[in-house]
Amino acid sequence: MTSIDLLIHARWIIPIEPARQVLEYYAIAIDQGAIVALLPQKEADERYRANRTVRLDDHVLLPGLINAHGHAAMTLLRGFADDKPLDDWLNNHVWPAEKKWVNAEFVRDGTELAIAEMIKSGTTCFSDMYFFSEEIAQAAEAAKMRCQVSFPILDFPTAWGNGPEDYLAKGLALEEKMRTHPLVSVGFGPHAPYTVSDRWLEKIAALAQERNMTMQIHLHETAGEVEESLRQHGIRPIQRVMNLGLLTPHTQCVHMTQIDDSDIALLQKTGAHVIHCPESNLKLASGFCPVDRLQQAGINVALGTDGAASNNDLDMFGEMKMAALLAKTVGNNAAALDAHAALRMATLNGAKALGIDKLVGSLEVGKRADIVAVALNDLELQPVYHPVSHLVYASVGHRVTHVWVEGKCLLSDRKLQTVDEHAVKLKVQRWQRLLRA
């Protein structure tokens, strides 16, 4: 028998690759943080001697979910300014609150809260764009969670820095520090075409190419953004960033609710990715991302929650459900974005967008063991004809029981293992009192 670190038995396993496959009564063998085998349970017990064996007889195992866009620290602003259009929400509520309160402590505490929530709802990797990026990286590192930190760049000063040159210096210093980290990577986060001038967008594009780094940008979020770009520059925002060299296979275009055929052609030509944030887009009345058209055009579409200030949760299962329902309505096609495709958006497509699909996003031999277990034994989930349908349509985020990243347990029987839930709640209560005052 071969000795390994961990053996997990489950009623169902959804590997994502091969596509649309559901394995029944299988086990996953894990050693040194990597998946070494997926095989029938009886064969697994005969072949492996595990230091720890976990039997989950009523559960489905799937790759850890990837939240490809968010602002983790803004979880402290959950419910702070609801039911307002984007311009009013940003200019009159969120940005004034951030100007007054955001500092390193705010970001660290808010990110810890977001990480706890994401782990408990099955997310093992998140991409974040927010100030004090070093605090985000440290919080992810402490929680043993996978993370892409897209450090923000804007034309104007914030609590984190006095302008683009300062943001780039701090962000690149963080990237050098984290370059070899197994869980945390660093990329550029130019906020949006309307907050970053041509000079700096061009500079970011050149640096990203030189250093082989990712770029994440809010793009075509509202009709007003597109109209203003046409008025000021005579071209659509995506054409502008394309002309400046910012649209590449390393680019993650967030939102993309206002799309025409020319935009799709640019995405196809450059290999850029789209990050779809359906719940945030709906809440802010930003518009509808035409996911079915994008996927038919061969464009990689991943999923993100955006920040909890505009969502109001970080549950990727809810995001999958909303994405699937919206795609059907927008495309006027009940078969658009079925359950398997929606789950792929939240796993392997997210890994591709972040450039880590060789490591995670599917349960394949050789990949890192980022795994989620969901219990499907509750009365309201019976009968289970198709477990993937339940994962997407039956709101199961709170039924996540176990989470592993690199084979290390972050959640066991709903109990956080790497985050002190009580301490996080105390910090959040303090911030609530300050912001309410």
Q: What are the pLDDT digits (tens) for 190-232?
A: 999 999 999 999 999 999 999 999 999 999 999 999 999 999 9
Would 156 be classed as within a structural domain?
yes
Q: Are residues 294 and 348 in the same domain?
A: yes
Coil, helix or strand at residue 343: helix
Which pTM was predicted? 0.97
Establish if 122 belongs to a structural domain: yes
Three-class DSSP category at 271: coil
CATH number of the domain that residue 340 is part of: 3.20.20.140
State whether 135 and 283 are in the same domain.
yes
Same domain, yes or no, for 160 and 307? yes
Q: Looking at residue 395, what is its pLDDT? A: 83
Q: 400 exposed, middle or buried (CB, 10 Å; 0-12, 13-18, 19+)? A: buried
Cα gap 136→147, rounded to integer Å: 9
pLDDT value at position 133?
A: 98
Same domain, 59 and 169: no
pLDDT of residue 239: 98
**Long-range contacts, 9-12 (Cβ 8 Å, 24+):** 9/41, 9/44, 9/53, 9/54, 9/55, 9/56, 9/57, 10/56, 10/57, 10/59, 10/60, 10/61, 10/373, 11/56, 11/57, 11/58, 11/59, 11/60, 11/376, 12/59, 12/60, 12/61, 12/376, 12/387
Q: Which residues of the chain have pLDDT under 70?
A: none
Do 69 and 82 lie in one domain? The reply is yes
Do 276 and 134 have their domain in common?
A: yes
Q: How many domains would you assign to the chain? A: 2
List, for residues 312-359, the tens digit of each pLDDT value.
999 999 999 999 999 999 999 999 999 999 999 999 999 999 999 999
Whether residues 331 and 393 fall in one domain: no
Question: 184 and 40, same structural domain?
Answer: no
User: What is the per-residue pLDDT for 302?
Assistant: 98
In which domain, by residue range, is 51 found? Answer: 2-63+369-406
415-416/408-412 β-pairing = antiparallel
Tell me, yes or no, whether 297 lies in a domain. Answer: yes
Residue 10 sits in the same domain as residue 114: no
What was the pLDDT predicted at 91?
Answer: 87
What pLDDT sits at residue 94? 86
